[in-house]
Structure 1
Amino acid sequence: MDGEIGVEEMKSLLGNDGVRVVDIRSPGAFQRGHIPGSENVPLPALVGSVERFAGADRIVTVCPHGESSVQAARLIASYEGFDGDVESFGPGLTGWDGPLETADATGNDEGPDAPF
């Protein structure tokens, strides 16, 4: 793992083709609100799908409070097929003050206000 990043750095990375933002929350929490452009890989599924990150240049893992994302970043970094940079989003979604994408299976957000 290459450390943690903060809110301003995360904002500067949004839309960058070389960066993959991996949200490790449950699918329901992800649908209620996530950092734009992020992909959902729940932590329990990460072990079985870590090979999907082989060849990525940079990955930032995201969770609600910046704790579980450290574990996820370490897991990805330990994968033999991965040689890019991997960081955790330190503040977690509770510290994110940027935009959130929201959607349920129909494209409408009708769930609780909190995306966690």
Structure 2
Amino acid sequence: MINAPFRHLDIASLADWLEGDAPLTLVDIRDPQSFAQGHVPGSQRLGNDTVDAFLDQAPRQAPLVVICYHGHSSQQAAAWLAGQGFAEVYSLDGGFTDWQHRLPDRVEC
């Protein structure tokens, strides 16, 4: 059996991780306008225009969580980022839509 290049992460687990002090990198691959209207606290927008700079400076050993709208396109991005040498990559199940629905008080603008 071949290991998947990334793992799935649920909303509750990410919320718990954010309350801890462990190093964690959060990237949001939604469009700039959606990101500006609300995102998971501490996340940074990652797009075609920023990916090169991100790859140059992002820590490869810290867990990396990829966020999209509903948790579908983040899976492809997570697999790609795992192929770029990130040791521990996750796709957020349910995406930002589920995060915002479950934790509306934990949305940053």
After TM superposition, the score normalised by the length of structure 1 is 0.75
Q: Does 1:72 align with 2:74?
A: no
Equivalent in 20, 30, 43 of residue 38 of structure 1: 43
1:46–1:72 contact (8 Å) kept in structure 2: no
Q: Does 1:13 align with 2:17?
A: yes
Alignment of 1:17-28 (within 5 A): 17-28=22-33
Count the aligned residue pairs.
99
1:3–1:87 contact (8 Å) kept in structure 2: yes
How far off its partner does 1:83 sit?
A: 4.1
Listed as ranges, the gaps of 5+ residues in structure 1 are: 103-116
In the alignment, the residues of structure 1 paired with residue 22 and residue 50 of structure 2 have an alpha-carbon distance, to the nearest angstrom, of: 21
CA distance 1:46–1:86, change in 2 (3 Å): farther
How far off its partner does 1:46 sit?
A: 6.0
Identical amino acids, percent of aligned pairs: 29
Coordinate RMSD, CA, aligned: 1.8
1:65–1:94 contact (8 Å) kept in structure 2: yes
Q: Does 1:101 align with 2:104?
A: no
Listed as ranges, the gaps of 5+ residues in structure 2 are: none
Structure with more of its chain in helix, by fraction: 2
After TM superposition, the score normalised by the length of structure 2 is 0.79
Structure 1 outlier segments of 4+, above 4 Å: none
